[in-house]
Amino acid sequence: MRIAHVTDIHVQVRPGLSQVLNKRLLGSVNLYLFGRHAKFTPQVQQALVDAVLALEPDVVACSGDLTAQATDEEFEAAHALLEPLFSRQPTVVVAGNHDVYTRGAERDRRIEQHFGSWTGTGEWPRKRLIGDDLAFVCVESCRAHLLSSGRVGPDQLERLDAMLRDPDLKGRAVFVMLHYPLRGRKGEPYGPATRALSDARALESVLSKHAERIAAVLHGHEHHGFRSAVPAATRDIPIFNPGSSGYAWLPAAGRKAHFCVYTVAGDDVAVERFAYDGDQGAFVPEPGGAWATGG
């Protein structure tokens, strides 16, 4: 079973004046006046779709930030880009903080309006069983917030604990997916608090009780990828972040797009990481193995 993990694609469409009378005013200044929009390019985003399609994975997992500012126009553009990929095989999607960028986007469940076939609907966390051997447990960690912090909340944590005990998960490789990191690249609690998950330790406490059942935790949010682990008594739970899959190719600035492929065989998860090479105009396997070249 091969799982392609993409994240933080950040499809961008410049908003109209009527759309920036909220948090998007600051975001648009950052994107279009200070130049952050140039860090993500349509040509790399299309190359991502082409590369993953060519690999023919069994499952695609997307850990959020499909858009930059959660407008309908961005979601429509993201859907046009990603639908050929997401529709080819089972695909599982969670929102990123940029997909619930404003209270309106969060209230209207805008990502579900456009990507509901892959996010699912209803109460969080959400369970997705794939075949007889694989399951995803998806945690909602994002909210409309002036800064970039997230929260899971005690009610969802209680439901997550119960879901991870579900007999349906027995004998399956279980991947827990959310947008926010739990740990940093050195294994430390992820920070700063202004862009972290406020109840990350409480989430880790729940996950650690089910460490034997969880194959890995998948996330995005941090655009330079790394692997880490949730400490647990029986076994540490691997955490995988490919890094942004939609980054422009800016090698002098240490920026390039990545995605991961996880091959699941019994209790083992092998990781390949692919990086965009602007000279070849395509994604290629990371030299030296996954994360060997850094973020």
User: What's the CATH number where 123 sits?
Assistant: 3.60.21.10
pLDDT in tens, 30-40: 554 545 667 89
Determine, yes or no, domain membership for 293: no
SS3 of residue 187 by DSSP: coil
Determine, yes or no, domain membership for 291: no
Cα–Cα distance, 219 to 216 (Å, whole number): 10
The one-letter amino acid at 72: D
How many C-alpha atoms does 270 have within 13 Å on its Cβ side?
Answer: 7
In this prediction, residue 267 carries a pLDDT of: 80
Determine, yes or no, domain membership for 292: no
Determine, yes or no, domain membership for 204: yes
Determine, yes or no, domain membership for 290: no
In this prediction, residue 262 carries a pLDDT of: 98
For residues 190 and 202, the answer to whether their CB atoms sit within 8 Å is no
Determine, yes or no, domain membership for 55: yes
Count of structural domains, the chain: 1
Determine, yes or no, domain membership for 46: yes
193 contact partners, CB below 8 Å, separation of at least 6:
149
Determine, yes or no, domain membership for 35: yes
270 phi and psi angles, rounded to 5 deg: -95, 140
Portion of the chain with pLDDT greater than 90, in percent: 82
DSSP assigned state of 183: B
Q: Which domain holds residue 15?
A: 2-285
The pTM of the full predicted model, rounded to 2 decimals, is 0.93
